A and B are shown apart, each in its own frame.
Chain A
Amino acid sequence: MQIPAQFDYVRASTIEDALALLDRHGPESRVVAGGHSLLPMMKLRLARPEWLIDINDLYELDFILPEATQLRIGALTRHSTLLESADVARLFPIVIDAERVIADPIVRNRGTVGGSLCQADPAEDLATVCDVLRAQAVVRGPGGERILTMDEFHKGPYETAVAQNELLVEIRFPIRPRAGSAYEKVERRVGDWAVVAAGAAVNLAEDGSVDDVAIGLTAVGLDGTIAEAEAVLRGRRPSEELFEEAGRLAALASMPVADQRGPVDYKRHLADELTRRVLRRACARALETQTTTTQEG
């Protein structure tokens, strides 16, 4: 069985402690939470940190906190906690869609939101979810806290704006009225990384037209959401024709590469197909919310 190379281990007791440890041990130190990305890499000896700083005791980072205008999620929140949250399900069904297909239930028991985002795998489902929800990442470092947009947070495959001496502490999802969202993934088998996946979030105006929309794709080489596809829908009433056009543009924008999961043409096709599907579902969910809101009002 594969085993990691030697390293030293230290457990952080608070955020400040973790930051101090990162500062002390420098670039050869890595933070570990769930460990489900880092430890397999270390076993393959593709990663060889000299120090592991275990942040699993930072319970203050394990929270799901609904506020009036945003939902705050601690970076140490486990995927399984997110999946089971009624608040999350009510406000952001896309998160549930995605969490159900992230790895497997046992991995989700251990893996954390922050870990997934900081690993920044190009096939990471949660990154797309955060993109389309226009999430903010709260990063803390020696100089205090920075709040980043996802555009600022993502720097490319396996790279984020979180500096070596910083810690991602929180993700914030803005709560919007008449919102709907959805995620769909094609995978070769349950638990596999996405061949392609798509996420969409829409907010309808009171007249039922699209007030705002975000469309994101996973595993097709894109950073951020797809503005040209979003522009098709903005200000117009959702319709199959618009979904089709958005799907077409999303496929055009995509830059997949061929791999074991599929060739380029198939991935482009999925970009189109899945964009249409998630838009359809997100809009239907937004309408449901609208109906509920109206009834309640």
Chain B
Amino acid sequence: MQISMTMNGDEITREIEPRVLLVHFIRDELRLTGTHWGCDTSNCGTCVVLMDGVPVKSCTVLAAMADGHAITTVEGLATGATLDPVQQGFMEEHGLQCGFCTPGMMLTARALLDRNPHPDDTEIREAISGQICRCTGYATIVRSVKWAAEHPVVTENAGEEVPA
């Protein structure tokens, strides 16, 4: 079947099998490998992407169900060389170690800040409570999101652009 969607701002159309999960569509078909998967049961949240601005677990959404919708993955967070404050915050406050859960965590953080620009610790912890991180112990993720809240516009790009 044919599906079309807005992927990180670009209109795309592809032919797929109905059983293709959104996470596989993003990774295998579009080769956007920043979205990961970590379980098969919707428990870990490693596969979180934004669907029309709302965080969803892309291992539990069919690519077909995303037809006609707008998807944002980690690759769509930065604007050119300018990082999203959330990305900068994760670097500033050591919100990541192995980097595997990080894309999902950052997307949830972005959606949270869009709705609630000044979340407190509890609100941040609740927002990421459907996502597992094995490395950080979460406290630095909370700090990273707060850093982003306190720096809604990143003026200086400390991270180097990495060629795709």
Q: Which residues of A contact B (CB under 8 A)?
A: 1-9, 11, 32, 35-36, 39-40, 43-44, 52, 54, 56, 80, 103-107, 109-110, 190-191
**How far apart are the CA atoms of A285 and B129 in the complex, in Å?**
28
| Docked-complex contact B19 and A5, CB < 8 angstroms | yes
| Docked-complex contact A1 and B37, CB < 8 angstroms | yes
Question: Known interface pairs A104-B130, A106-B131. Does A3 touch B62 (Cβ–Cβ under 8 Å)?
Answer: no
Question: How many residues on B have C-beta within 8 angstroms of the other chain's C-beta atoms?
Answer: 31
**How far apart are the CA atoms of A2 and B23 in the complex, in Å?**
12
Q: Does B59 contact A (CB under 8 A)?
A: yes
Nearest-CB distance from B55 to chain A (Å)?
A: 5
| Docked-complex contact A35 and B62, CB < 8 angstroms | yes
Q: Which residues of B contact A107 (CB under 8 A)?
A: 42, 57, 60, 130
Interfacial residues of chain B within 85-130, with CB under 8 A of chain A in the complex = 108, 126-127, 129-130
| Docked-complex contact A52 and B18, CB < 8 angstroms | yes
User: Which residue in B21, B60, B61, B129 is a CB contact (below 8 Å) of A190?
Assistant: B129
For residue B43, which residue of chain A has the nearest CB?
A191
| Docked-complex contact B40 and A2, CB < 8 angstroms | yes
| Docked-complex contact B129 and A105, CB < 8 angstroms | yes
| Docked-complex contact A40 and B1, CB < 8 angstroms | no
Q: Which residues of A contact B130 (CB under 8 A)?
A: 103-107, 191
| Docked-complex contact B64 and A104, CB < 8 angstroms | no
Q: How many A-B residue pairs have CB under 8 A?
A: 85
Q: Which residues of B contact A (CB under 8 A)?
A: 1, 17-19, 21, 23-24, 37, 40-43, 45, 48, 54-57, 59-62, 64-65, 67, 108, 126-127, 129-131
| Docked-complex contact B129 and A40, CB < 8 angstroms | no
Q: Which residues of A contact B45 (CB under 8 A)?
A: 104, 106
**How far apart are the CA atoms of A170 and B116 in the complex, in Å?**
31
| Docked-complex contact A106 and B108, CB < 8 angstroms | yes
| Docked-complex contact B56 and A109, CB < 8 angstroms | yes
Nearest-CB distance from B27 to chain A (Å)?
A: 10
| Docked-complex contact B42 and A4, CB < 8 angstroms | no
Nearest-CB distance from A147 to chain B (Å)?
A: 30
User: Which residue in A44, A52, A109 is a CB contact (below 8 Å) of B40?
Assistant: A44
